[in-house]
Amino acid sequence: MNVHSYEKLWLVAAMLLIVGFIATITYGSVGIGIAMIDDSQETIDPNEISDHEDFGDPGVEQVAENEYEAHVVARSFAFRPDPIEVPANSDVTFYVTSGDVIHSFSVVGTNVNTMVIPGEISSMTVEFDDPGEYGVICNEYCGSGHHGMESQIQVVPENEFDLTELAVEADESVAADGEVTLTATVTNGLVETHETTLEAEIGDETLEEEVTIDGSDSEAVTLTVDAATLGEGEHDWSVAVDGETERGDVTVGSDADTDTEGNDD
């Protein structure tokens, strides 16, 4: 049988295409770093995400030196937290879940990409070497706002990274001859000891305090100002540490003052 040489060429080309298709599909399912999301991993009730210990308050936590975990919740049409801040020179394992429909978590310009399915937890570990910014987008059509569903990963220099949280307790009113006391509790989420500066303003008074907090621990700092220095009336206060700020106000005199006078009688 005589086969024309052009026909032979087409036969070979068709064979190569078929082999190419099979290779692509095989790589797409079992290639290095590629995994399917299924319920062999941990599952989650999408209606109870807000009560979940990790996804209820999603964010970044440190698990070991240079190792972090980031819990992310995708919901139409945003990611939480946004932005996601991580330090340079770190390995970050992302755990992503959805509170409603199917989304994706795709880091623009990298091969970091996963589907995010309600009920399932997608996970992947990413190495961040240098500081920089990456866009995160959803590439599974999820509804009318899909095109605007995005977030950002900010990789900051190691020495600028902290996991500090601040809570402040303060009196609402103080007698004119009393003391205004603010109790600031600073929590260090890093596994290493963290040194930082707490800055406070009460009325026109400014206070500064150096704080050293052990890894995964918290420190309570008490700040006081004589009410007499502030004078009678309402005074704003603010406490700031590592970019976290708490605000409130305190009233000096008036009711509190009257109470004290009443007790004296």
Contacts with Cu ion by CB under 5 A lie at 138, 142, 146, 149
Task: State how far the Cα of 45 lies from the Cα of 51, in Å rounded to an integer.
Answer: 10
Rounded to whole angstroms, the Cα distance separating 122 from 124 reads 7
CA distance linking residue 143 with residue 100, whole number of Å: 11
Tokens coding 51: 């009560």
- Between 80 and 146, name the residue whose CB sits nearer to Cu ion: 146
CB 135 within 8 A of CB 152: yes
Smallest distance from Cu ion to CB 140, Å: 5
79 or 237, CB closer to Cu ion?
79
What span, in angstroms and rounded, lies between the C-alpha atoms of 131 and 128? 8
* Closest separation in Å from C-beta 143 to Cu ion: 7
Tokens 């009257």 -> residue: 258
Measured from the CB atom, is 132 or 135 closer to Cu ion? 135
Q: How far is the CB of 91 from Cu ion (least distance, A)?
A: 27
Contact 122, 140 (CB under 8 A): no
Q: Is the CB of 149 or the CB of 163 nearer to Cu ion?
A: 149
How far apart are CB 139 and Cu ion at their closest, in Å? 7
d(CA 105, CA 140) in angstroms, rounded, equals 9
Of 103 and 235, nearer to Cu ion (C-beta) is 103
Smallest separation, CB 76 to Cu ion (Å): 7
